[in-house]
Amino acid sequence: MQTELSFSIVFTQAANFIRNRFWPIVLISLLLNLFATLILKNTVDIATLTQLLKANSPSAFPLLLKMLVIKLVLFIIIDAILIAVIYNYSFNEYLNLNTVLSRMLPNVLNMIGFELVFLIILPIIFLFGGLIFMILGLIIPKALVIFLFAIVAIVFAIFFNAIYYNFCGLIAQPTTKTFFEKFAECNKSTLTHWRFALPMMLIYFLAVLVISLFNAVDNNIFLSVIYSTLLTILNIFTICFFYRLNMLLTSNKSMLEPPEQNNSLII
């Protein structure tokens, strides 16, 4: 028998998942952020880069590109680990390093594929979007163009992040599907189940805003680590929400298996 799904059910189960494993998740988030901070500090001289950027030096571009590439690589690795951790804790009470490590590589490959696809798509979107707003600027008042641009940018940010986190939740569960099948399913699911994705993304951006205000109070290493850790926990929660959503949707679609087998995620 199918279960009536609602946003509150999925949100509550994701919250229970985090609460029941709160301290291990905090520790993992803290260690990952310390690791990322050490890597950045030992590979990129932020002070030198800042000085070069202020001086408009051509030497700043290679350093800036290097920093962005390193940050992207760290971002992919950390999120791949987080997805593997969520999968592990969904079926195990304790952290199993073998399970996490076995899921890391597939997660990394899927995320690289996701980044490459959008690396191709985004420039085309920005190009056509820029042309449209240039034409609108010749027809309607500038203030209205700016307002429309802000609205479109907000909608795009919500939609893109919804697709990204839905994709992360989708690849957490091992399947035999190809990357493009997963990518297509992710896009279709995000549009079909927008009533789940939209409120989750609004909560996500509100939480990011609150955490960012907390980080802006004082600029020191201790608060920066706390800030990064809180953002990582937020990422875990958001990925967990979409993972749980996909599991429940799959469970409701499967009428041949008993509910006990379909709904096996540990809360």
Instruction: Express each pLDDT in 54-80 by its tens digit.
Output: 777 777 788 888 888 898 999 999 999
pLDDT of residue 53: 75
pLDDT of residue 9: 92
Instruction: Specify the 3-state DSSP secondary structure of 240.
Output: helix
pLDDT of residue 261: 45
The reported pTM is 0.87
Check: CB of residue 202 under 8 Å from CB of residue 225: no
Q: What CA–CA distance (Å, rounded) separates 160 from 165?
A: 9
| CA dihedral over 60, 64, 70, 74, signed as positive or negative | positive
pLDDT of residue 183: 93
Cα-trace Rg, the chain: 21
Pinpoint the alpha helices (H) of the chain: 7-20, 22-43, 46-54, 60-91, 97-139, 142-171, 179-192, 194-216, 221-253, 259-262
User: Which residues of the chain are modeled with pLDDT < 50?
Assistant: 1-2, 255-256, 259-263
Count Cα atoms within 13 angstroms, Cβ side, for 57: 13
| Cβ neighbours of residue 254 closer than 8 Å, sequence gap 6 or more | 262
- The contacts found for 72-76 with CB under 8 angstroms, 24 or more apart, are 72/115, 74/36, 74/39, 74/40, 76/108, 76/111, 76/112, 76/115
pLDDT of residue 265: 54
Longest CA–CA separation in the chain, Å: 66
